[in-house]
Amino acid sequence: MTPSQIANEAAALSDRAALLAQQARALAEQAAPVAAAAEPFLLLLTIFLMACFVGYYVVWSVTPALHSPLMGVTNAISSVIVVGAILATGLSDSIAAKVFGFLAVTLAAVNIFGGFMVTRRMLAMFKKKG
């Protein structure tokens, strides 16, 4: 191949690359509204799933000696969630907010009750040992 043939092929490749870049830009502009709408949901869903996995591994890695103090803190956090959910339910006019507020109150109450049951069981187990 002669240098002029190589230069001609390089120019043709350059023109083809510029055309492909323009097409890619046009496709990206067409897809931008869809990506902008889906992006916050996917971001929040990713954070939620990562928090679930991290929470699972953290909770199951806790030694029994630390379980009771951690459950006490969890119960305190859940009681704050109950107060916030009651406020959100009572102050809203939306049916969906009332349903989700009721669901939040119910789940937090179950969490508090379960935390007290586990804490009481752990305390009884420590009393048997000591």
26: its two tokens: 């046009």
Contacting residues for 86 by C-beta, under 8 A, at least 6 apart: 101, 105
Give the global pTM.
0.42
pLDDT digits (tens, 9 = 90+) for 42-87: 777 888 788 778 877 776 776 666 666 666 666 777 777 788 888 8
Distance (Å, rounded) from C-alpha 95 to C-alpha 89? 9
Number of neighbours of residue 6 by Cβ within 10 angstroms = 10
